[in-house]
Structure 1
Amino acid sequence: MKTNIKVPFVAAVFVSVMAPQANAHDITDAFLTERSANCADYVAEYTASATDVFTKTQYDAAVKVTTDGQTCTIASNAVPNHDFNTDKGFFHGFAKHEQAYTVTAAPTAAQAPTPLPLGMDNAVFLDGVKLDLVAAGCYGVDDGLFGCFDMSTPYRFDPMGVESNIFGADAHNAHTQPNGLYHYHGNPMALFD
């Protein structure tokens, strides 16, 4: 049975670090339903259990949201709150990563759209996993999967594309980077009803 939990969906900047706490809220397989614009509404510690369905390995997720009033820091070990991977396995194996994102506590809308650059995380969810909307792969550049860092290059691969699923995304529209970091490229299907 899924539980309903508040979820922040905020732009992110990389920082660093943490470990699971005994008094944290368990968000294993929780649906995330609320979308307060102020990340301070989510200050708490969260845990979850997730299984890599390919290796059958169980992982413990740890997320901690803190605030100083002006910013919030979302620190996690990058383990999702749901089972992940595919029956064929990701191209790169999964690995935990201690990470933290510092965001404005009360964001406001920008005056104009901001282009999505490579090398910058687009968001982080309450389960501590980041969203990376833009793929680093382009058709006709090297092997097509890596090395396409010029945003003006035509024919950028859509990581959500179903034509060949060359990025090896799982049922949650996510996969791992070469260093094993699990990240979403689209709607993390396990987080929403």
Structure 2
Amino acid sequence: MRRLITLPLVLLSSALAAHEHHGHAQWSEHNGQRCVTSNGLPNHATGQFPNRGNPHRISEQATHLCVTLTPKKNATPTMIERGAIGVAINGVPFRPETADYYDASSQRGFSRNPQSGWNLEGLGARDLLGMDSNNAHVDERGLYHYHGVPPTLTAHSSLLGYAADGFEIHYRANQPPSGYRLKPGQRPTAPYGRYDGTYIEDWQYVGGPHTLDRCNGGELDGRFVYFATDSFPFFPRCLWGTPSADFSPRARPNAAQPSQRLPARTNDAAARRQPPAAAIDACSGRSDGQRCQFSPPGRPSLQGQCRRTPQGVTACVP
């Protein structure tokens, strides 16, 4: 049975926006999947692109993205370090992370060179990256995408869109709140300075009563969903379900290339063994190769480096 839903995308105006776009998105449900076909343009006015912080121009995209209608939680989450983590109801991707790092040798102070280990946070460096009033900008392909909650999509429903693993993404004005907090003190290496949210590594997951989990997941009306929040991480940075192959971090949204998936089942006991939760939490928001520390249950604290493990997660490896 095939179910077809065409969304009437009405152009919205904004005092801070400079240009309007004829966005179009069509949703359908068939063969156990929920799919959206769109032209990659938003259904609202945007800031001007190119601009001082963003040299790219918005261009129409042939976008087709599908997620499962029956998402299931795995034992451990999949870290989404780059690329789209989901798609909004208007067909525009959610891509909270960036590919830019602090780089003192660059004229702009940042580049694609990850050597410093300080990864620019999209909204923490919003002016540097040319974000508009909907917390979005444009990549080198001309693809418009959201790094944070787009205010124009929150007026009529809490449902913003769907994560790559099929679970819904809702926004309810920081209710419940994120479990991430800024680290205390100062950065130990260049660019130095206090942890102020400019970089992903400025944040740590501390959790606490009634906060969202480390993937910004929680309960809504008795079911599991993800939440978009006004504070970091804004959108989930990891997914509890298996991401759709349509959300490849290094491919166009409609490309049929493999995405970051949980590894296939194997008979190898070492490959099946998951890192301790404390080791995964120690590297939440950190880049590969950064130093880390965690305390295994009943054992002394261990120091190590954040590494991508055979199980497909980033964890602290002694």
User: TM-score per shorter chain, which class?
Assistant: 0.5 to 0.7
Offset from partner CA, 1:71-93 (integer Å, 9 cap, x none): 12211111112111149845211
Stretch moving more, 59-68 or 127-136: 59-68
1:187 is the counterpart of 2:149: yes
RMSD of aligned C-alpha atoms? 2.9
Deviation at residue 159 of structure 1 after TM alignment? 0.6
TM-score by length of 2: 0.41
Offset from partner CA, 1:126-154 (integer Å, 9 cap, x none): 10000001100000187455524x6x962
1:114 is aligned, of 59, 75, 78, to 78
1:91 is the counterpart of 2:55: yes
Q: Residues 81 and 116 of structure 1: is their aligned pair in 2 closer, same or farther, counting only changes over 3 Å?
A: same
Corresponding letter in the other structure for 1:96: E
Corresponding letter in the other structure for 1:137: D
Task: Name which structure has the greater RCO, CA cutoff 8 Å, separation 6+.
Answer: 1
* Higher Cα radius of gyration: 2
Partner Cα distance (1:84, 1:178) in 2: 17
1:45 is the counterpart of 2:45: no
Local SS of the residue matching 1:157: strand
User: Are the equivalent residues in 2 in contact too, given 1:78–1:128 (CA < 8 A)?
Assistant: yes
Runs of 5+ unmatched residues, structure 2:
156-318
Q: Residues 59 and 86 of structure 1: is their aligned pair in 2 closer, same or farther, counting only changes over 3 Å?
A: closer
Q: Residues 109 and 121 of structure 1: is their aligned pair in 2 closer, same or farther, counting only changes over 3 Å?
A: same
Q: How many residues align?
A: 147
Structure 1 match to 2:94: 131
2:67 is aligned, of 70, 81, 103, to 103
User: Are the equivalent residues in 2 in contact too, given 1:50–1:79 (CA < 8 A)?
Assistant: no
Structure 2 match to 1:61: 23
TM-score by length of 1: 0.65
Stretch moving more, 73-82 or 130-139: 73-82
Deviation at residue 59 of structure 1 after TM alignment? 2.6
How many percent identity over aligned positions?
22
